[in-house]
Copies of this chain bind each other. A is one copy, B any other.
């Protein structure tokens, strides 16, 4: 039993979200499953870690054959606590994050707690994959997602990911029709055109709610946005080296001594 691979499971929607239950269930076929996930929704927490407060871990019942802990911190805190506190030396064979309720295509990889947990896994030298379903609903249907999860994780365990990289997998909704296949993509160029809704509190003071509209600025057919909008599962390899290597030569022509 103990020589079955160890699979670490986390997410950002919190330990009671349906998506992480689907993921934990599917991982049972691959090995021993350890779930460490936030005790409350932590969407859009990016790569935040908790340094100004302490952290709590609570063992919880999740499903048969799965060890599960809820954590008071962010998704990245969950990965760190799993690796450095709960596991103490044993390395997970793979880390899976999700299944996120909502897409993490394009630049949303940077805002996403789901993907930041996978990126943290990559930093720790663990093969990591984030899964996201293009459906924010708590009632989202995951049946068509299951074979995708199994296929990607089987490939990762068999072939391995390049050092310093993880995968960002986004899956169209079931109601969008049968999946056409899987496409390896690059992150689309886009941005959020934000808009703050101003409201007035009972004391007469203004406050704001963030709202935004994603603007796809990319014409390419090799992007994650194109793939999911055309019925494909997108798989983007993500790296945590953020250096814009292609600009170094030009920056070296600057007069830095001015």
Contact = CB atoms under 8 A, between A and B. Distances in A.
Given A83-B194, A181-B257, A195-B84, A165 B210 contact: no
A140 interface: no
Residue among A210, A233, A236 facing the most chain B CB atoms (10 A cut-off): A210
Contacts of A206: 57
Interface residues of A, number: 84
Contacts of A209: 54-55
Interface stretch (A29-37, A119-127, A170-178): A119-127
A236 B242 CA distance: 9
Interface in A149-186: 151-152, 154-155, 159, 161-162, 164-165, 181-182, 184, 186
A206 to B, nearest CB: 8
Interface in A242-258: 242-248, 250-252, 254-258
Given A83-B194, A111-B49, A243-B236, A252 B184 contact: yes
Contacts of A49: 44, 46, 111, 210
Interface string A174-211: 00000001101011010111111011000001111110
A182 B257 CA distance: 7
Contacts of A181: 256-257
B54 A155 contact: no
A241 to B, nearest CB: 6
B46 A52 contact: no
Given A110-B242, A154-B258, A235-B256, A43 B51 contact: yes
Contact of A239 (B52, B155, B242, B254): B242
A141 interface: no
A162 B247 contact: yes
A146 interface: no
Contacts of A41: 52
Interface in A1-53: 41, 43-52
A81 B196 contact: yes
A183 to B, nearest CB: 8
Interface string A70-88: 0000101100110111000
